Chain A
Amino acid sequence: MDKVKVEICCGTACYLLGAVHLMELEAQLPPEMRERVAFEAKSCLGQCENDRLGGAPFVRFNGTEMMSRATPGAVMARLRELLGLEVA
């Protein structure tokens, strides 16, 4: 099964508004998710000036699905959904 790809924007605004905590998620994944998720840092996803999408920080799942105002909890919950695991 393909891994779920999680791209974290590390542009200035995203970083200051919480991406720094999102980058720590990789080390906090529970054992059942560890082999099934691939984290990547991106220098900028280019979304912060796009008002329609809401605010930074931005995270992209599997190259297409954008999440705005991403928090560690929200990213983790979406990952569990995408992996078909029970959402806490």
Chain B
Amino acid sequence: MAEDLFIEMEYAQFTKTGQAACGDDVRLLTVDRENRYIAALSDGLGSGVKAHVLSTMTTTMALRFLQSNIPTLEAVEIIMDSLPVCETRKISYATFSLFDFALGGRAKILEMGNPGYIHLRGTEEIAPVSEERMVSVHWPDRTVRECEVDLRAGDRIILCSDGVTQAGLGERRDMKLGWRRSGVRAFAQERIAAEADISARDLSLEIARRSVNITAGVCRDDVSCLVVYLRHARVGRILTGPAFRRESGAEFASQAGLGEDHVVICGGTTMNILTRELGVEVKISLADMRAAGRLPPVGKVPGVGIATEGILTLSAVLSALEEGRSPEGESPAARAILERLARHDRIEFVVGTKVNESHQDPNIPQDLELRRSVTRRLAAVLEKRYRKEVRVNFY
């Protein structure tokens, strides 16, 4: 990937009220070797488990076909031929929107049956460079739209299911045809005007939430919104030490200068090294002390970032990431780290490998992992599951 460009792909989803499974499916794929980013959003016919199966089959196949560069029509025909036929409606159907982008090139968007994508550069809507409509011989009533899009740094692409654009349809006098694509676009433009660098994560969530709020919190249909944001990478850094050699301390500590919103100091000894080398102090307020939960409290290091305890907190973060738990239920220290991880695209771990002898005290009631192995597992889960770029430097 070009040194500082990053593709943020995030989506938000709500299930139709009363259904056990979401009938929409969103799947994301990064092909590292090709610097290629692929996303698929599908809405299965109907709702509930049956729709979920249809949409999941569609996204799974679509990702594989795109990755293998199979011609569009051929891929669509295979998908349509493979979907089970609905007993009630006697048709097989799942809509889709596919996004395919290799860094440095143009993006391709394929759509069938879903609301048209929205491409915004700042608040300005951008038309595709080229557009083609294709009809399959097997399925003459289905049209596939293929667009080539000129995606530049700062651009966003918004894809959604019709649960978003049709929110309010037939229910609200002021929205006879629902929120519509134009309503979604206007809302996104308004949000971007207010917050120019709003993340894909926040924007997708706000669009999905807004569509649900149109019908007073009741989901009349499954709601999915995917936002792709091409931006300069947001770099976050986690320092956890101490360095193996004491003389590396200064170099280790110098890595802390990245800006307060981007740095986490993990570990009491690590913090002491920063105090020694940079003269900075950690401040833990009484409120933070009282709210600490099941982990030591989180503190602030003015001018540097936040500070937490080391291995227990990192282990809690790792388990939340591996099990896909949301930050809200975690202790404040783990939550603070999880929220920072979510806000950044590239995560840099600066890891001192010296073993803390006090951790080997036989009186300590639980096994403590080594920093080095926890960091490796964190790096793996952040890359694979959360599509972060991760760098690890050992000291």
Q: Is A15 an interface residue (CB 8 A)?
A: yes
CA–CA, A26 and B271, complex, Å:
24
Interchain CB contact under 8 A, B297 and A44 = no
Question: Which of A19, A39, A43, A48 is B358 in contact with, Cβ under 8 Å?
Answer: A48
Stretch at the interface among B39-47, B159-167, B307-315, B343-351: B307-315
Contacts A26-B289, A43-B268 given; does A12 touch B309 at CB 8 Å: yes
Interchain CB contact under 8 A, B356 and A12 = yes
CB proximity to B under 8 Å, residues A41-70: 41-44, 46, 48-49, 55-56
CA–CA, A87 and B141, complex, Å:
89
Q: Is A4 an interface residue (CB 8 A)?
A: no
Interchain CB contact under 8 A, A23 and B289 = yes
Interchain CB contact under 8 A, B310 and A12 = yes
A interface size (C-beta, 8 A): 24
B interface size (C-beta, 8 A): 30
Q: Is B364 an interface residue (CB 8 A)?
A: yes
User: How close is A87's CB to chain B, nearest CB, in angstroms?
Assistant: 26
Q: Is B296 an interface residue (CB 8 A)?
A: yes
Q: Is A85 an interface residue (CB 8 A)?
A: no
For A16, the chain B residues whose CB sits under 8 A away are: 312, 364-366
User: How close is B280's CB to chain A, nearest CB, in angstroms?
Assistant: 12
CB proximity to A under 8 Å, residues B333-369: 356-359, 361, 363-366, 368
User: How close is A4's CB to chain B, nearest CB, in angstroms?
Assistant: 15
Interchain CB contact under 8 A, A17 and B363 = yes
Question: What are 9 A-B contacts defined by CB distance under 8 Å?
Answer: A11-B268, A11-B309, A12-B296, A13-B356, A17-B363, A19-B296, A27-B290, A43-B284, A44-B267
- B residues whose Cβ falls under 8 Å from a Cβ of A: 267-269, 271-272, 282, 284, 286, 288-290, 292, 296-297, 299, 307, 309-312, 356-359, 361, 363-366, 368
- A residues whose Cβ falls under 8 Å from a Cβ of B: 9-13, 15-17, 19-20, 23, 26-27, 39-44, 46, 48-49, 55-56
Other 4 A-B pairs with CB < 8 A, given A27-B290, A44-B269: A12-B296, A12-B358, A19-B296, A49-B356
